[in-house]
Amino acid sequence: MIKKGDVQKALYESIPVKEVQINYRLPHTLVICIKEREIAAALPYLGSFVLIDSDGIVVKIVPKLDYLAVPVVTGFNVTHASVAGPPVIENNADSFKKFLELISAVSPIASELSEIHVTVDESNDTAFYLYTLDGFKVFLGCYDDKKIPVMEQILEDLRKNNRGKGELNISGDTPVFKPFNREGEGKEGKP
């Protein structure tokens, strides 16, 4: 007497699930298999954080990020958020779609990121800054999935060869690394 479609619809609308499979096991059992959504990023919202998955669906809203190793996303103004639905972003709907593409591409290294900053430049293009937990700033510019492996390789080389912290600009054809000035050094990088 229970319709699978009605149960699936009710679950999708009330809790943040990625997939729901419903089967009957006769005589009196309904089997529900649920695939949960994985948290990919956190958006600041009204003094708390909206946790979203890589599809942009709100998984939960929490007051603090004490236990989570996900990047905080800045540059968006979330005007409304509710669990199991997408957050409402003021003025940057297109940028949010591009961000979702980026967050899927960086998922293997997302735990290394502390922040992703989204900005719109004067020509109305979306640009991304990525900040790592160990102190690197990466200017990605416009999202291009070919830039992510390049970024990973360069960061690995910088860490392996102990080249110091700095800003990596991979927005153009040629990546450029500029170390941060160390304390006590002059303008030319000499004490």
Q: What angle do CA 61, 148, 102 make, to 5 degrees?
A: 30
Give the confidence band of 7 by pLDDT, cuts at 50, 70, 90.
Answer: confident
The pLDDT, as a whole number, for residue 191 is 43
The average confidence (pLDDT) of the chain is 89
Burial letters for 171-188: b for 16+ Cβ neighbours within 10 Å, e otherwise? beeebebeeeeeeeeeee
Residue 190 has pLDDT above 50, yes or no: no
Please, how many CA atoms are within 13 Å of residue 172, restricted to the half-sphere of its CB? Answer: 6
Mean pLDDT (whole number) for 95-115: 94
Stretch(es) of the chain classified as CATH 3.40.50.10960: 38-179
Give 38-179's CATH code, choosing from 3.10.450.750, 3.40.50.10960, 3.30.870.10, 3.30.70.580. Answer: 3.40.50.10960
pLDDT tier at 17 (50, 70, 90 boundaries)?
Answer: confident
Per-residue pLDDT reduced to its tens digit, 31-90 = 999 998 999 999 999 999 999 999 999 999 999 998 888 999 999 999 999 999 999 998
